[in-house]
Amino acid sequence: MQNFTFHNPTRIIFGEGQIAALDAHVPPNARVLITSGGGSIKSNGVLAQVQAALGERAWHVFSGIEPNPTYETLMEAVALARQKNVDFLLAVGGGSVIDGTKFIAAALKFDGEPWDILARQAPVREAVPFGSVLTLPATGSEMNNGSVISHRAKGDKLFFTSDATYPLFSVLDPTTTYSLPPRQIANGVVDAFVHIIEQYLTYPVDAKVQDRFAEGLLLTLTEVGPQALAEPHNYAVRANLMWTATLALNGLIGAGVPQDWATHMLGHELTALHGLDHAQTLAIVLPAMLSVRHESKRAKLLQYAERVWNITEGSADERISAAITATRGFFERMSVATRLRDYQIDEQSIDKLVAKLDEHGMTQLGEHGDVTLEVSRQVYQFAA
């Protein structure tokens, strides 16, 4: 096992009816900016529950944070927060709203041009405190310090992390997910699955607990993912999905092990250039990535084949190939297509995608730093 430091300061408040607990966790005198997306929290009644829980506190709402939140929109929220003199942010929504709120929180305290936080990785030392009410199990943003922001004008999608951008708390009420459309449930399952893979499917370092935790989370997703689509109001299924997606990216399974993240980086360019949902990009890139890099991931691919997919027969190459096929099959069973052509993207765009990776310095990705631009090109080609 590798050396590590693990610290996660986010308090999780989990279960049906827990939005009411906001009253105990938002500072009593806070001037709150509620940040939200395109309207789902109004139609499903979540906003009303939040407002009731805030009681007499002064609050304003900023709505309109879009999926793949943009710098342009978030800077409007920064202006509103300044104008209203707010001192606490409450993100109510999915990963995009929470990621966007991390950026707003950081930008409000940042000296200089806030896009530098993404483009130049300018350190974020301070942020306005914030909490979240999660309505979409997927990204893990509710219990991590990462944020992925797009710049519409530049066609960039970049990330930052900071110790100052962990949510103080996150409320996870599985009943808030009942109103999700099937596409977003499927996206969430695929995103969480790939988060686990990015931290698990690298090379062995004899980290037994991390491996078995990761395998347990993967197995849970293969079980509850299809159930979540089939039975939208099954509380137990939604609760298991929600907690699995949080644990998939809260630092626990990634502590002390090598991490990959190349699939995410290639996926971000696909969203930036073609507007695909984040999870759609991962479903396209991951099977191709595993195929192209099967030699360097050989030992872990064999372990994954046996422990997650119960594949124990055939030669090593056959088992690896069967595990990759099972992975693709799982995404397709969740109704997320896995080829570029399924989204009307042809091979001509590969040059542009590779040029963007180059522009963003993504030239030595993966756990060995050996995913060069040439390897990335092969992955996109394999995914065609």
Query: Which range in 95-103, 118-126, 231-239, 375-383 contacts ligand NZQ by CB under 6 A?
Result: 95-103
DSSP letter, residue 65: P
CB of residue 323 vs Zn ion: minimum separation in angstroms? 21
Residues 6+ apart with CB under 8 A from 151: 70, 71, 72, 115, 118, 119, 157, 158
- Token code pair at residue 124: 């974020």
Nearer to ligand NZQ, 270 or 345 (CB): 270
Regarding 170 and contact with ligand NZQ (CB under 6 A), the answer is: no
Question: From the list 57, 238, 264, 319, which residue makes contact with ligand NZQ (rule: CB under 6 A)?
Answer: 264
Q: Which residues bind Zn ion (CB under 5 A)?
A: 191
- Token code pair at residue 247: 């644990």
Question: From the list 180, 190, 197, 214, which residue makes contact with ligand NZQ (rule: CB under 6 A)?
Answer: 180
Distance separating alpha carbons of residues 208 and 210, to the nearest angstrom = 6
The site partner of 180 among Zn ion, ligand NZQ, none (C-beta below 5 to 8 Å per kind) is: ligand NZQ
Question: From the list 101, 132, 144, 162, which residue makes contact with ligand NZQ (rule: CB under 6 A)?
Answer: 144
SS3 at position 77: helix
Regarding 378 and contact with ligand NZQ (CB under 6 A), the answer is: no
Distance separating alpha carbons of residues 282 and 285, to the nearest angstrom = 5
Nearer to ligand NZQ, 99 or 215 (CB): 99
Regarding 141 and contact with ligand NZQ (CB under 6 A), the answer is: yes
Regarding 177 and contact with ligand NZQ (CB under 6 A), the answer is: yes
Query: Which range in 16-24, 131-139, 165-173, 373-381 contacts ligand NZQ by CB under 6 A?
Result: 131-139
Burial class (CB in 10 A: 0-12, 13-18, 19+), 76: middle
- Token code pair at residue 380: 């996109």
| Range list of H helices, 35-122 | 40-43, 46-54, 71-84, 95-108, 116-119
The site partner of 67 among Zn ion, ligand NZQ, none (C-beta below 5 to 8 Å per kind) is: ligand NZQ
The site partner of 176 among Zn ion, ligand NZQ, none (C-beta below 5 to 8 Å per kind) is: ligand NZQ
- Report long-range pairs for 10-13 (Cβ below 8 Å, ≥24 apart): 10/142, 10/143, 10/144, 10/166, 10/167, 10/168, 10/169, 10/170, 10/250, 11/168, 11/169, 11/170, 12/142, 12/143, 12/169, 12/170, 12/172, 12/246, 13/169, 13/170, 13/171, 13/172
Encoded one letter per residue, x for contact with ligand NZQ by CB under 6 A and - for no contact, window 41-80 reads x--x----------------------xx------------
Regarding 136 and contact with ligand NZQ (CB under 6 A), the answer is: yes
Question: Considering CB under 6 A, how many residues would be counted as binding ligand NZQ?
Answer: 35
Regarding 99 and contact with ligand NZQ (CB under 6 A), the answer is: yes
- Token code pair at residue 63: 């709505």
The site partner of 254 among ligand NZQ, Zn ion, none (C-beta below 5 to 8 Å per kind) is: none
Regarding 146 and contact with ligand NZQ (CB under 6 A), the answer is: yes
Q: How does DSSP assign 134-154, residue by residue?
A: E-S-SS-GGGSSEEEEEETTT
Distance separating alpha carbons of residues 193 and 26, to the nearest angstrom = 32
The residue ranges that bind ligand NZQ (CB under 6 A) are: 37-41, 44, 67-68, 93-97, 99, 135-136, 138-141, 144, 146-148, 176-177, 179-180, 184, 187-188, 191, 249, 264, 278
